[in-house]
Structure 1
């Protein structure tokens, strides 16, 4: 899974591309699986491909918490 050239601070507008099937999708279409281990879902989320289900990218989503 790769993210197109979008500034990391603008995750809402980020577009992902699945390296397996080529599907392009935004944050709203990405499949968010149940968290694993002690992953804090208020800070980190994983976006899996909605078309083929391949494991996607884990991204930091709590930009406001870091200043």
Structure 2
């Protein structure tokens, strides 16, 4: 993991700024997905880690390699 690039408040503000755009497009993001995106923006987790987390939540058994 890398050190955080943005504060949690900054990352949450960035995610909140996307919500109106997503709403116009008829999309919404779950609270769990928002939390993952915040962690990704902060640099707390990597894209590869997010991929594994989402895949496992959907029932796919993939490894981190």
- Bigger Rg over Cα: 2
TM-score (norm 2): 0.26
Larger proportion of helix: 2
Which has the bigger relative contact order, CA under 8 A and spacing at least 6? 2
TM-score (norm 1): 0.25
Larger proportion of strand: 1
